Structures are given as structure tokens and as C-alpha cells.
Structure 1
Amino acid sequence: MDLEAEADLTRCGALKDFWYVACLSTELKPGEPLARTLFGTGVVLFRDVQGQPTALRDRCLHRNARLSRGAVFNGRIGCPYHGWVYDASGAVVEVPSLGPSQRSELLDADACAREGLATAPCALGRLTRFPTLEQDGLVFVYMGGAEPARSAPFRVPYWDQEGWTVYFMVTRFPNGVTNLVENFMDVPHTLFVHPGWFRRPASKRVPATVRRTAGSVLVTYKQAQDTVTGLGRLFNPRGLPLLHTDKFYVPNVTRVDYLWGEHGFVINSQCTPIGPTDSLVYTAISYRLPVDVPGALVGRAMMPLVRWYTRQVIQQDVVIMDIQREALLDGPGGGVYSGTEADLHHADIEAYRRWLREGGQGSGPEDAERDMAFWI
């Protein structure tokens, strides 16, 4: 696993050819710039005059100052160093030092050309502009250049569906995307990282089926009577059969479902790479309580408790990801892993991400469906 290449815009191959979450919609406020880093590249986001999100390279053409430290006004952004103003397309539309005429005064076009200077803002070029898209309470950015995205942005499960409550958690993880998605789709670690919060040791054999197809890895656990501690009792007071599935979608999305009939909870995480061992994860928690008529009202009332619980659990994952990161960076050999049958789906995830990092040519890893088992 090449953690450095995975998070480098120039070396990540086709991993960049997808939509990545840059922020929550609520984080991108009118009249305020927002700085983000994706694949090691600084990006500034702001809303244009129509309120639509804009994403530009966060580096002024003049002296490379961070535009995200400047001001947004009338749908434009001004540099904090010399005040150069850019519109939502990335074009320079005003240079304060040129004065009212916005033209070179004493140097003619030939003289400016000899010195590598421009005569007017329109001749200064423009910043790289990254396509944006806003849906389901998220703002997405596409870093793939001229090639179209390989797939549409992922839809948040049960967004705006009656009876379901959805909220977001944004977490900065000290690790890379591959390690994070494997952590989010991993049952055995819950005994050691989340003891008592999610599961307790039960000396129980868990059979499962792993299906790799069409850029996804689906794990279906054959444990209808499995019990989840903590909030699991809240969601299944009647002891209904559990349908537990974990699914990975290339290149960076996981969806974990715990469903008892028509209610339960879904944990959807979308990972955005900042650097080799630094990521922002946007987690949507969608849940529906086993209450008939006033389910949505009760669900919203329970949100502070559910949010508190999920935050405790996710912070435990932050700690273990940091522990893993320390060892990954401790000399040569980091990123070379060993595995057993319980890691079958991790091998599938790594196969897909390696294929994309190497360019994503052809159809990718072949479809496969296998049974496995592990103990918890």
C-alpha cells in the first residue's frame, strides 16, 4: 500500500476521478471563505452571488498568498496580501494597485511583455477552478481535471425519508483513506477498541459472505440473532432478527447497516484525503426507532443521546487509527500487511484501490463471491 501516492494529486492515478466531500453545506456560509486540503492541494470554497458553491486553488496568482485568509464580497474573493480580486470562475477581475483605469499607465504592452508583466487584470490568467456539487447537506468537489467523474456523488442513506433522522459528524483522522475504510468495515476490532460500547466477547463463530462486484465490496453477516450492546437495545427491544451488512464503494465510501425490519441505523462514512496519513471523514448517521406514528418526533428528541454515543465510539476509532499511524511511519515496511480469512474483504478493498491508483484501466478486479468465517 503506497500511502504517499494515494494522497498525492499527481500520483494517485484514478483515485482523484471521483467526487469528494469538501464540507457540510452548513459550513459554507455566505460571505465567508473556507479552506480545505484535498490530495495535498489547497482549495478555497465560497458561495457565488447565486449562493452556489465555488472551489478555487487556494493560492493567489500574484505572490501565492492564501485566498482563504481573505474576504468574500459580492460573490468574489479578495487576496489578503495585495487585494487582487477573483470571480467565481477564477479570473482576476480587479487589481487595486492599477487604480481606477485598471490598466498599466507608463509601460506599454511591449515593455510589459519584455518584463513578463500583464497590462490589465484580464491578461493575468485565472486560478484553477474545481467543479462543485451540493446535495444531501454536503458540498462535493471534483479534482479529476478535464475527464468526467467515474460516478455520481454518493447519496446519503434515507436522506429526507419519512420516519428517519439523519445527522452528520465530521472527524479528522490521523490516517489514510484505505486504512480508514477498512476500519469502518471491520467487526473483530470492536471487541478490543470498543469493549462494552458495541460488543462484548462471546466466543461466537460468525459466518459471512463477501461479494466483490462493480466497484463495491459487500459483506453480509449470517447472524440474525446477533446482539449489539449500547444503543442496540434501544433499536431492538423486541429481539427481532438483525440484518447486518457492510459495504464499500470505490474509492472512499463505506455504508454499515444494522436493520431490524423497517427500523435500525445506518452509518455512512465518506473519506476525503488531506495527506498520506491525514483525512477528514464525513459520517452520516441515519436511524429510525421502532415507534409507529410519532417515530420522527421521537427520533429527533433522541438525537442528543445518539449523537453523544456515536461520538464516543468514533473517537475510539480515532485513537486506534493514530496508534496504527505511529507504527506505519516508524521506519521502512509500513503499509505491508499480513492477513487471515477475516481480512478477505480488506483484500478486496485494497485490490480496488490499488487498481485505481495504478490508473484504473480496464474493468478492474474480477467479480467474486466467497464465504468466510471468523470468531468474536
Structure 2
Amino acid sequence: MRNCFRQNKIVLIFAIVLLALYASFVFFMYTPWYTATQLRFAYQNNNTTLLMRTIDLDSVVSFGYDDVTGDLFTYNSNMPPKIKQIFDQFYKLIKKNVCDGTLTMLDTYLKDDVWHDPTGTSVLKGRELGIDYDELLERSMLRNTSVRKIGSLIKDDNGNYIIPVTVADRYTDTDFVLELQLQKNTEGIWQITKIINYRDYLIHVRDLCNVDIASYIKDTKDRTTEYNRIFQGLQTKFLTMTKTIGSDVSADKRTLIQNFILSEIIPAYKSHEEYLQNVNVPAGALHLHILRLQSNAKTMEAWKYFAAGIGKNSKASLVKAEYSHQSALVLEQKVSDIINKMPALFVPEIP
């Protein structure tokens, strides 16, 4: 009887201990420290499902959108207040569509570990909303930021719970500590809802890149001017050669135009490509340099299609030439925007 009582007492104590441990764990689950622990574990084990439980992605993307679109005008101090107000209204109008599309892209990225371009009926495809979404992503640094270290949970002077995360951008590889703010959701679970100093990070990286971009532009200015003069001269010759032709072009004339493109225009762009491939590019100017290479490649592609189309009187090749030409113009505009610090592809047309 005594042994039975002793055994029951042991079982009871064990049950109480288990219950206490369980209660402690449940209590711990509703603390910011639990979220911080989950975040670190998810990152270390590449567990995207667990990672998403620690983040209120809708809120993070929403706040992030405001920071990115606000950052667009950092270097446009001369913009009249009235014009800036129009831009601000424009970005507020398209915010929901952009954020919803971004959330869809993030969901796909977390599943495939690959950034896919918007396709199908997505309003982010092309310039459906009047913006260049790919370049907007580039400015957000979303695809170009890597995590180096997740720090310990802290409480700031305002009483906010913060997880410091050391990151580095792809271009300058410079460390920056982002401050992830935690808040309770409706279920009482703490989640990351905002990157407090996200805009500071964007401006920090942009300032570093602008130094390199200025150096890159200075170092390539003379050769770029020379090539632009060559391209302008070839364009003038081409326009003169094709000025009097109509829909009915003789075979000899087609051959003449085709030979001019193949023997003079395309070699000039090929020479420009070889020059760009051998340029010493500062890290922060890499995006600009890649855009220049892409623009040159698309322009050369357009001329090749045009040469094939004019030589064989192929409508299909001429259509491809026009498509490549339009793509090249978009890339050239991006280059111009970066050089002039004007995000023209992100703003509505002002009458």
C-alpha cells in the first residue's frame, strides 16, 4: 500500500512537472523571444515554412513599399512640391496592386528559390501600371541583399522589441544592421511587422553606389562619346540610304541595305560590346554596366533581325527587329535614368 502511494506520488509529481513545462512552453510561445528563436532556427536550417510564421509579410511589404517609393526621390531635391505631390498620389493609387504582386512573387521565390518575372495576367508584367517593376525591385534591394548574422532580441528606448540582422548588399558587399520590429498579432503571437531603418539602408547603399557610378561614368565618358558619335553617323547613313524606299523595294536595294548593316553597323556594336566587356567596373556601378551591355546586345539583335528581314523580305524577322528595338529603348532609358538620377520609368506622365 505504501509502495503504491509512493508510486502514485511520483507519477503525480512527474505529471505536474510536465504540465509546468508545457505551460512554460506555451507561455514562451507568446513572447518575442520565441519568435526571435524561431527566426534564427529557420534561417540556420533554411526552413521557409517556419520563417514565414515569424513574419507578417503583408505588413513588411506594405511598409517597405512606402520606403522604396519615398527613396525614389531622394536625389531629386529640385522637384517642385506640386509635381512631387502628383507622384505621391500616383504611388498611393498603385500600392495595393504592386504589394499584392510582390507577395505573389515572394511566395513563388520561397518555393522555388528563383526570382521569376511576372507573367500571365499579372499587372506587374511589362509596364501595365506605368512603372518598370523589375527596376523597382532592383531599387528595393530585395533580390540583392544577403543575411550575414541574426543578432539577439533587444528592447529599444521606445519599448519596441527589435531583432538586429546584419546584411550585405550584392554590389558593395558592405555590412549594414537592419532593425526588425516585432509586434503582437490578433492571436497574441509576436511577428516581424516592419524593418524600422529600411529606408536608411536603401539610401546607404545608394550613396555608396553613386560614388562608384560617378567614377565609372567619368572613366568611360570619352569612349562612350566616341561610340555614340559613330552610331549617330551610321544611323544618318542608314536613314539617307532608306529615305526614298517604299513597300516595293528592289532586290538590289535590299542587298545593299543588308550588306551595310552586316558590314558596318553590326561590327560597330560588336566593337562596343568588346570594349564594355573589358572595362574595369567598380562594384557599385555593376547594375548600370549590365544595363549598358544588355542595351547594346538588344540593339545589335534588332539590327541582325532587320538585316535578315530586309534581305529576305521577311515580315516575321522585321517584327522581331521592332520588338528587340523597343526592348533596347527601354534599357537605354534605364541607363539614362541612373546617370541622371531621375526615376523616369516610375512616374506618371505630367501634362
- The two structures have a TM-score, normalised by structure 1, of 0.21
Structure whose CA Rg is larger: 2
Structure (1/2) with the larger helix percentage: 2
Greater strand content: 1
- Name the structure, 1 or 2, with higher relative contact order (CA <8 Å, separation 6+): 1
